[in-house]
A and B are shown apart, each in its own frame.
Chain A
Amino acid sequence: MSAVSNRRVEGVPLPLVLVGIAALIAFPLIFTSPTPQHILILTLLFGAMGTAWNILGGYAGQISIGHGVYFGIGAYTVGFFYANFLVSPWLTWPLALILSVAAAIVIGLPTFRLRGHYFILASVFIVDAIFIIVSNWEAVGAAIGIEYPIYREGDLAGSLWALQYHDSKLPYYYSALGLFVASVFVSWRIQFMPLSYYLRAIREDQEAAQSLGIDVTRYKLVALIISALITTLCGIFYAQYVLYIEPAATISIIISLEIAFIAILGGIGTLWGPVLGAFIIVPLTEILRQKFSGAIAPGFGSGDASLLLQLEYLLEGGGGNLDILAYGLIVMLIARFQPNGVLGFLRRLD
Chain B
Amino acid sequence: MTDALLDVRDLTKHYGGVSASDDVTFSVADGEIFGVIGPNGAGKTTLFNLITGFEKPDRGTIVFGGRDITGLRPDQRNRAGIARTFQIVKPFPRMTVEENVITGALSRTKGVAEARERAGHCIELVGLVEKRHALGRELSTGQRKRLEMARAMATQPKLLLLDEVTGGVDQPSIPGLIDLVRRLRDDGVSLLVIEHNMRVIMELADRVMFLNLGRKLAEGRPSEVSRHPDVIRLYLGSGHA
Contact = CB atoms under 8 A, between A and B. Distances in A.
The answer to whether A and B belong to the same complex is yes
Interface in A187-202: 192-194, 197-198, 200-201
B75 A210 contact: yes
A216 B75 contact: yes
A216 B103 CA distance: 13
Contact of B103 (A193, A201, A207): A201
Interface string A184-226: 0000000011100110110011011111111110000000000
Contact of A197 (B93, B106, B152): B106
Nearest to A208: B90
Contacts, number: 79
B79 to A, nearest CB: 5
A204 B95 contact: yes
Given A197-B102, A200-B95, A208-B86, A213 B112 contact: no
Q: Which of B73, B106, B155 neighbours the largest number of chain A CB atoms within 10 Å of its CB?
A: B106
B73 A213 contact: no
Nearest to B83: A211
A193 B111 CA distance: 8
25 contacts: A193-B112, A194-B111, A197-B99, A197-B102, A197-B106, A197-B115, A198-B103, A205-B91, A207-B90, A208-B86, A210-B54, A210-B75, A211-B52, A211-B54, A211-B83, A212-B83, A212-B106, A212-B107, A212-B154, A213-B104, A213-B155, A214-B75, A214-B103, A215-B75, A216-B75
B103 A197 contact: yes
Interface of A: 192-194, 197-198, 200-201, 204-205, 207-216
A278 to B, nearest CB: 24
A211 B100 CA distance: 12
B90 to A, nearest CB: 4
For the complex of A and B, list the 7 residue pairs with the smallest distance between their C-beta atoms, beginning with the closest: A213-B107, A204-B92, A213-B78, A208-B90, A210-B74, A197-B103, A205-B90
B94 interface: yes
A214 B73 CA distance: 10
B145 interface: no
Contacts of A216: 75
A41 to B, nearest CB: 35
Contacts of A201: 92, 95, 103
Q: Which of A198, A209, A213, A215 neighbours the largest number of chain B CB atoms within 10 Å of its CB?
A: A213
Contact of B75 (A194, A200, A213): A213
A212 B84 CA distance: 8
Interface of B: 52, 54, 73-76, 78-79, 83-84, 86, 90-95, 99, 102-104, 106-107, 110-112, 115, 136, 151-152, 154-155
B111 A213 contact: no
B107 A200 contact: no
Given A192-B112, A194-B115, A198-B103, A211 B74 contact: yes
B73 A215 contact: yes
A191 to B, nearest CB: 10
Given A197-B99, A211-B52, A212-B78, 11 more contacts: A194-B115, A197-B112, A198-B103, A200-B95, A200-B103, A201-B103, A204-B93, A207-B54, A210-B75, A212-B152, A214-B107
B112 A208 contact: no
A198 B102 CA distance: 10
B111 to A, nearest CB: 7
Nearest to B137: A204
B75 A204 contact: no
A196 to B, nearest CB: 9
Contacts of B102: 197
Nearest to A204: B92
A204 B112 contact: no
A62 to B, nearest CB: 16
B141 to A, nearest CB: 16
A112 to B, nearest CB: 14
A193 B104 CA distance: 14
Contacts of B107: 212-214
A216 B73 CA distance: 11
Contacts of B91: 205, 208
Q: Which of A193, A197, A201, A208 neighbours the largest number of chain B CB atoms within 10 Å of its CB?
A: A208
Contacts of A215: 73, 75-76
